[in-house]
């Protein structure tokens, strides 16, 4: 069953309280055990309208998520500025001195080209 609420939520953005900007309200989770499925699922999610992708260091597929995103951006299917990525650090990386290096490692593993763009 589809309602106007479904459509409104699909395109809803949540505004930030600091420095402006916003993020899509709905995120696409990227926990897939198969790396080929990861690439395919992320590509298909982009094609049907998802713009927020929820990743994690622990999923061990950041490279494949980044490849799928970069491929669709390079093809002109989506603009870089329309995509929002969130990620989670593994529990051992929550100490303040470990956050920066863990974030940098996530960028290097997966989406370094994507994030730099």
* pTM value surpassing 0.85: no
**Reported confidence tier of residue 2, pLDDT bands at 50, 70, 90:** low
pLDDT digits (tens, 9 = 90+) for 77-103: 999 999 999 889 999 999 999 999 999
CA trace torsion 15, 19, 21, 22 (10° rounding):
-40
Catalytic positions are 59
Q: Measured between alpha carbons, how far apart are the two ends of the chain, in Å?
A: 38
Distance CA 39, CA 19 (A): 32
84, two tokens? 């929002």
Alpha-carbon gap, residue 68 to 41, rounded angstroms:
9
Over range 46-69, report the average pLDDT: 93
């Amino acid at each position: 069953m589809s309602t106007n609420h479904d459509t409104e939520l699909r395109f809803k953005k949540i505004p930030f309280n600091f420095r402006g900007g916003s993020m899509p309200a709905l995120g696409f989770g990227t926990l897939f055990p198969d790396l080929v499925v990861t690439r395919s699922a992320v590509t298909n999610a982009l094609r049907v309208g998802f713009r927020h992708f929820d990743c994690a260091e622990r999923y061990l597929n950041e490279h494949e998520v980044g490849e799928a995103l970069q491929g669709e951006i390079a093809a002109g299917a989506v603009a870089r500025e329309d995509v929002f990525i969130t990620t989670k650090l593994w529990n051992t990386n929550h100490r303040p001195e470990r956050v920066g290096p863990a974030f940098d490692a996530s960028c290097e593993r997966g989406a370094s080209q994507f994030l730099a763009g």
